[in-house]
Chains A and B, each alone.
Chain A
Amino acid sequence: MNRIAAAIVGGYLFASSGGALLSALNGPGSDAMLGGALLGLALYAPAIIWAFATRSAKRAWAGLLGASFSLAVLTAVADATGAAA
């Protein structure tokens, strides 16, 4: 049960933050959002697979939340440093 939650919630956060990072790197505008969305939607299913392939539910949570958090931080850094521009 715990692992299923990790896969669904953690996987979704990971996919969203991955997509948000790519769209931040691509700069403003709707085209940048499209690229991010395409990546994010492609990441979700593999993230779920990984959550079930890894050794324990704890690892699944840690891995997905950790990766999501890192991606969110990178997105903020990209924004702050103006990497998009």
Chain B
Amino acid sequence: MTGGLRQRMAWLHTWVGLWVCWLAFAIFLTGTLSVFVDPISDWMRPEQVQEPAAAPFAGPLDHTQQLQHGLRFLEQHAANSKMWELWPRAGKDEFQVFWLNDKGYYADAHLSTTTGAALPEEVSAVRDTLGGQHFVEFHHALHAGTTGLWIVGAASVAMLVALISGVITHKRIFKDFFTFRPAKGQRSWLDAHNLAGVLTLPFLFMIVYSGLAISWSTYMPAIPWAQELRTGETANVREYGPESKPSGRRGVLTSLNPLVHIAEATFHSPAYAVVVNHPGDAAVTVDVYSTTSPETQAGNLLSKRGVMQFDGVTGALRETEMPHRAPPNGARATMATLDELHRLHFAGSVIRWIYFVAGMAGTMMMATGAVLFMVKRRQKSLNEFGAGTPRVYRIIDVLNVATVAGLSLACIGFLWSNRLLPHDLVERHEWEVAAFFGVWLAALLHAALRPPAQAWREQLWAGAVLCVLLPLLNVLTTGQHLLAYLAQRDIERAAVELTAIVIGALLAAAALRVRSPDPRKMASATAMRKAAS
């Protein structure tokens, strides 16, 4: 690595970009799909009936019966817990209570409103599936727990490095904004890569950085350690439970009903949860959280619930945080904003579609970058790996196909498995995830066994067919279909199928453009052009 700054950055961009691009593509594609986690989950639970929208809030509700039953249950079953939670739901036959058990984890029970008795776990008629949450989990930690979280974190930092070095390498950001020369082989790939990157640059920085920030306590353990050294106490990063301390003296809990009444009147929304910290202690406090809804959200960025804290013995109000208001502390407000920008709890459908398009553009930037690397080298080998160069190039080719085409295939295969797997399979949701990884593995093997152009073409076609036929599969397996969804104004399920058809058409267009193999020239060069442009 020699030469001036720009050459060094070009070197860094090429190699960091290459080694991270497959992982980054996978994280970005599934992250982009996660934007529509709820519609995808709805589509994957065809048995679930859409709940009618809640009636507008008319005033404080009567929760007397549920609160009484809930408290009696918790006193009997969780007397020594340091936290209780009651979720009163006026007008419902059942409601939930939670408590922290001896190990510090949440436990819960469903109680009957009329008798207060714990209800047995119902055997649900709705199929057991992770739904869109599968994409969220994979995007966040690759279904691999803390290890996966670290891998995603490392990939995120590598992505930032690739972005910064790409910007430094790149002299003509503004000009390239307006440059696209299609059907010119390597040149077009570079243009597509630049265009996708430049167009979405602010989005890419924001989304990668906020993604890191959300999991900061995993990635930056030095900060809580330094706090612990300083204060001699364990830093409270993600523990559940009250932040205050118990007094050790007995205390009698005041009636909860008036407190909930005050909170509902203040927030103009039904109570979402009533939390009792240190029940039975003289220092007991009661937090009442508000329910947020699209109406309360409108015009607000933060989706935070409002909370009122009361002294649990006297019932005196101690603190009020209104819903959607920024926390007073600057760092906390910044973190809350980054969290919203990344997880989109605040967002309606317009913002979600903007994210979807920007996310797809970012995904395409990685795909075009990966393909560009090989297009350049297929014209003239640069011999970076000495005698092993052809073999490494072959591996890169295989990984390109298996990631770009193969993961797309695995994602749509996941939706297919949702309809094809038997309804009462044990741990059915895990079989769906297994199907996702199974399809992906098959794509990898296929890519390794076939020449690149054939592998591209076959996998893109397979993905296209599965996407376009998704509505037909739905009709055959559940009897539900697109026109009925539209007639019932079930826009979300309809949009899942319509989007699948559009993506299928793009994959087919890409498959049509894969050129026949020519050993010395680019074979897969045009594979993804359509999608990339």
On chain A, the residues within 8 Å of B226 by CB distance are 20, 23-24, 75
Contact check, A52 vs B12: say whether CB atoms are below 8 A apart. Answer: yes
Contact check, A37 vs B5: say whether CB atoms are below 8 A apart. Answer: no
Contact check, B329 vs A31: say whether CB atoms are below 8 A apart. Answer: yes
- With beta carbons under 8 angstroms apart, the residue of B236, B237, B331 that contacts A38 is B331
A34: nearest chain-B partner, CB-CB = B331
Contact check, B8 vs A53: say whether CB atoms are below 8 A apart. Answer: yes
On chain B, the residues within 8 Å of A38 by CB distance are 213, 216, 331, 334-335, 338
B177 at the interface (CB under 8 A from A): no
On chain B, the residues within 8 Å of A81 by CB distance are none
Report the separation of the CA atoms of residues A45 and B209 in the bound assembly, to the nearest whole angstrom.
Answer: 10
Contact check, A37 vs B165: say whether CB atoms are below 8 A apart. Answer: no
Report the separation of the CA atoms of residues A64 and B11 in the bound assembly, to the nearest whole angstrom.
Answer: 21
On chain A, the residues within 8 Å of B236 by CB distance are 30
Contact check, B157 vs A45: say whether CB atoms are below 8 A apart. Answer: yes
B164: nearest chain-A partner, CB-CB = A49
B223 at the interface (CB under 8 A from A): yes
On chain B, the residues within 8 Å of A53 by CB distance are 5, 8-9
On chain B, the residues within 8 Å of A67 by CB distance are none
Of residues 4 through 24 on chain B, the ones whose CB sits less than 8 Å from some CB of chain A are 5, 8-9, 11-12
Contact check, A16 vs B12: say whether CB atoms are below 8 A apart. Answer: no
Contact check, A31 vs B332: say whether CB atoms are below 8 A apart. Answer: yes
Report the separation of the CA atoms of residues A28 and B236 in the bound assembly, to the nearest whole angstrom.
Answer: 11
Q: How many residues of A contact B (CB 8 A)?
A: 32
Contact check, A46 vs B164: say whether CB atoms are below 8 A apart. Answer: yes
Known: A31-B329, A32-B331. A19 touches B157 (CB 8 A): no
Q: Which of B86-94, B227-235, B448-456, B462-470 lines the interface with chain A?
A: B227-235
On chain A, the residues within 8 Å of B332 by CB distance are 31, 34
Of listed B219, B222, B229, B236, residue having the most chain A CB within 10 A:
B222
Of residues 31 through 74 on chain A, the ones whose CB sits less than 8 Å from some CB of chain B are 31-38, 40-42, 44-46, 48-49, 52-53
On chain A, the residues within 8 Å of B217 by CB distance are 33, 37
B199 at the interface (CB under 8 A from A): no
Contact check, B223 vs A19: say whether CB atoms are below 8 A apart. Answer: yes
Contact check, B212 vs A19: say whether CB atoms are below 8 A apart. Answer: no
For B358-383 the 0/1 string (1 means CB < 8 A from A) is 00000000000000000000000000
Contact check, A41 vs B209: say whether CB atoms are below 8 A apart. Answer: yes
Report the separation of the CA atoms of residues A16 and B223 in the bound assembly, to the nearest whole angstrom.
Answer: 7
Closest beta carbon of chain A to B510's beta carbon, Å: 32
Contact check, B222 vs A16: say whether CB atoms are below 8 A apart. Answer: yes
A31: nearest chain-B partner, CB-CB = B329
On chain B, the residues within 8 Å of A3 by CB distance are 1
Known: A24-B230, A28-B227, A75-B226. A34 touches B335 (CB 8 A): yes
On chain B, the residues within 8 Å of A41 by CB distance are 209, 212-213, 216, 219-220
For B463-485 the 0/1 string (1 means CB < 8 A from A) is 00000000000000000000000
- A residues near B (Cβ < 8 Å) are 3, 15-17, 19-20, 23-24, 26, 28, 30-38, 40-42, 44-46, 48-49, 52-53, 75, 79, 84
9 cross-chain pairs, A with B, having the tightest CB-CB distances, nearest first: A35-B331, A45-B160, A37-B216, A16-B222, A20-B226, A34-B331, A31-B329, A41-B212, A36-B223
- B residues near A (Cβ < 8 Å) are 1, 5, 8-9, 11-12, 157, 160-161, 164-165, 168, 209, 212-213, 216-217, 219-220, 222-227, 229-231, 235-237, 329-332, 334-335, 338
